[in-house]
């Protein structure tokens, strides 16, 4: 892959000709070499996006026309779904089944925003001033810098690209430097869809240079970021120079609450899915299990039994249930947290080490891990580990579990399990989180907003609001009978 930056409608190399090797986390084999851009490349891409916004046709096309382009991207993603899913699994280690499901969701996101592109015709409001007409219209914000993480590389990118383009903005996107392959491919599809030059730009490279430039550059009007909380704080600071609009989708430490009157068979099955899906590298992972003390011991025993039989392996093999972690550094971070948990006095019930299987030694694998006897003030309960580690706490009342569940700086998602629906609704209403699932875990879709309370960030992606976030609101007031007011006498 020699030219992997897409700037002003051309595929080019990084100015300094630097490259990066992309590694398969399953076996550490090189799967591609891509360009490694730096700050200058970001500046170039921003200039292209600025020109395309200020002078180009994209922002002034009708919503219908923009929608047709965005729909075309959805169709091309569906056409190339298998190729995209294979790339995503090679790049992240996730199972091919997961990647295919991601690609379906991604195509749906583009289709959804294509459909919304021409739906908002503005609104005429009732003006209190006689002989006047007031209308409210939404307009694109301008140049949008978009920065995405490695855990759902293309999914997170689609939540930003599709609404931004549908609303008439021009974009510069920077994917995670370690997982750029599907994003490169989708920019090829964006080009194939015929989007005007400069409307969509791709720069690869490190966060500290390329990402920082997107946050800092005065020609960028909005920066939308998905990633870790500490990076989010840096982006807020860097973005302050021109008071650009900011959207932050940060981490989570998401409670999964199981009452004794839940369907325990389903709750146990889904508790595993909640935390161990994609090796726990999910912002909304149900990594904090809160179990009614009346069923704590039997529920925990069932989870341990099931966890021990989770099959780690090659994401391309049919019987693999979970792939590796993304990198050696990330596994080291997870291992550190497991040490911390043991020091803090939590009881390691299963996992807590790399697997012994010789076939997995070249990958960044880590066994699904459960800690019991956890307390709310432990670091393993409070901090986002972002790996296959479940902490288990018990509770004795509805009030107590609400307090425990909310006792976190995060507020991304949570779930509550019980057959008593009124109780579920009561608890859901009290959870300070952007998404609450009742008797389920993980569903999200293009039609429903996604985002966090508290330090999980601000702004929303997906849903109608996911498009509105990429618009400015303008009030146009027209006096239909202009006449002197004679405030100052002539």
226: contact with ligand NAD by CB under 6 A: yes
Q: Which residues contact 346 (CB under 8 A, 6 or more apart)?
A: 371, 372, 373, 374, 375, 378, 380, 391
- Report the nearest approach of ligand NAD to the CB of residue 10 (Å): 23
User: Do 107 and 77 meet the contact criterion of CB atoms below 8 Å apart?
Assistant: yes
Active-site residue 472, yes or no? no
Residue with tokens 């875990």: 441
Determine the interface stretch with ligand NAD among 191-199, 210-218, 295-303, 399-407 (rule: CB under 6 A). 210-218
Q: Is residue 208 part of the contact set for ligand NAD (CB under 6 A)?
A: yes
Work out whether 387 is an interface residue with ligand NAD (CB under 6 A). no
Pick 150 or 470: Cβ nearer ligand NAD: 150
Residue 29 bears catalytic tag: no
Which region among 13-21, 144-152, 394-402, 423-431 touches ligand NAD (by CB under 6 A)?
A: 144-152
**What part of residues 21-40 is at the interface with ligand NAD (CB under 6 A)?**
none
231 contacts ligand NAD (rule: CB under 6 A): yes
For the residues of 117-150, what is the DSSP string, one character each? Answer: TTT---EEE--SSSSEEEEEEEEE-SEEEEE--S
Residue 37 or 252: the one with the smaller Cβ distance to ligand NAD is 252
8 A C-beta contact, residue 90 and residue 22: no
Nearer to ligand NAD, 200 or 268 (CB): 200
Check binding of 386 to ligand NAD (CB under 6 A).
yes
Q: Are 164 and 144 in contact (CB under 8 A)?
A: yes
Please name which of 380, 362, 363 lies closest in space to residue 371, comparing C-alpha atoms. Answer: 380
Rounded CA separation 49/485 (Å): 44
Q: Which of 88, 177, 213, 249 is catalytic?
A: 249
At 371, is the secondary structure helix, strand, or coil?
A: strand
Q: What is the 3-state secondary structure (H, E, C) of 344-411?
A: HCCEEEECCCCCCCHHHCCCCCCCCEEEECCCCCCHHHHCCCCCCEEEEEEECCHHHHHHHHHCCCCC
For position 149 contacting ligand NAD by CB under 6 A, the verdict is yes
Quick check: 215 binds ligand NAD (CB under 6 A)?
yes
CA-derived radius of gyration, the chain: 24
150 makes contact with ligand NAD (CB under 6 A): yes
Q: Which residue's Cβ lies closest to ligand NAD?
A: 207
Question: Binding of ligand NAD at residue 147 (CB under 6 A)?
Answer: yes
Q: Which CB, 234 or 432, lies closer to ligand NAD?
A: 234
Given the rule CB under 6 A, which residues bind ligand NAD? 147-152, 156, 174, 176-177, 206-208, 211-212, 215, 226-228, 231, 234-235, 249-252, 283, 384, 386, 412, 452, 457
Catalytic residues: 249, 283
């Amino acid at each position: 892959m020699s030219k992997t930056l897409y700037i002003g409608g051309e595929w080019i190399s990084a100015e300094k000709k630097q490259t990066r090797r992309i590694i398969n986390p399953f076996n550490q084999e090189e799967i591609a070499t891509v360009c490694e851009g730096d700050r200058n490349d970001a500046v170039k891409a921003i200039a292209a996006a600025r020109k395309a916004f200020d002078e180009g046709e994209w922002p002034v096309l009708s919503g219908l026309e923009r929608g047709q382009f965005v729909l075309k991207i959805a169709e091309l993603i569906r056409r190339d779904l298998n190729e995209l899913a294979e790339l995503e699994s090679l790049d992240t280690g996730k199972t091919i089944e997961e990647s295919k499901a991601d690609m379906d969701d991604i195509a749906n996101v583009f289709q959804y925003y294509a459909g919304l592109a021409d739906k908002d015709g503005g609104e005429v409001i009732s003006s209190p001033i006689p002989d006047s007409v007031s209308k409210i219209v939404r307009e694109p914000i301008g140049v949008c810098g978009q920065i995405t993480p490695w855990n759902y590389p293309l999914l997170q990118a689609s939540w930003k690209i599709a609404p931004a383009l549908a609303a008439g903005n021009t974009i510069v996107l920077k994917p995670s430097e370690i997982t750029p392959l599907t994003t490169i491919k989708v920019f090829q599809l964006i080009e194939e869809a015929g989007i005007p030059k400069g409307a969509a730009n791709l720069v690869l490279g490190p966060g500290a240079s390329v990402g920082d430039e997107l946050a800092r550059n005065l020609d960028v009007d909005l920066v939308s970021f998905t990633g870790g909380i500490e990076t989010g704080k840096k982006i807020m600071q860097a973005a302050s120079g021109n008071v650009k609009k900011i959207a932050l989708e940060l981490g989570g430490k998401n409670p999964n609450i199981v009452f004794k009157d839940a369907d325990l068979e389903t709750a146990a099955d889904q508790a595993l899915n909640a935390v161990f899906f994609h090796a726990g590298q999910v912002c909304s992972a149900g990594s904090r299990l809160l179990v009614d003390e009346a069923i704590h011991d039997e529920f925990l025993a069932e989870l341990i039994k099931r966890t021990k039989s989770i099959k780690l392996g090659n994401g391309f093999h049919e019987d693999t249930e979970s792939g590796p972690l993304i990198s050696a550094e990330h596994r080291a971070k997870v291992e550190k947290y497991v040490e911390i948990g043991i020091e803090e006095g939590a009881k390691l019930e299963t996992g807590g080490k790399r697997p012994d299987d010789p076939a997995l030694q070249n990958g960044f694998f880590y066994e699904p891990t459960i800690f019991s006897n956890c307390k709310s003030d432990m670091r393993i309960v409070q901090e986002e580990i972002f790996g296959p580690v479940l902490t288990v706490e018990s509770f004795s009342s509805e009030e107590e579990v609400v307090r425990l569940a909310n006792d976190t700086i995060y507020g991304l998602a949570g779930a509550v399990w019980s057959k008593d629906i009124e109780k579920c609704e009561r608890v859901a209403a009290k959870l300070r989180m952007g998404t609450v699932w009742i008797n389920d875990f993980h569903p999200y879709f293009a039609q429903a907003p996604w985002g966090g309370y508290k330090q999980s960030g601000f702004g929303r992606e997906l849903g109608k609001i996911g498009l509105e976030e990429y618009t400015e609101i303008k009030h146009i007031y027209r006096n239909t009978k202009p006449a002197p007011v004679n405030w100052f006498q002539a």
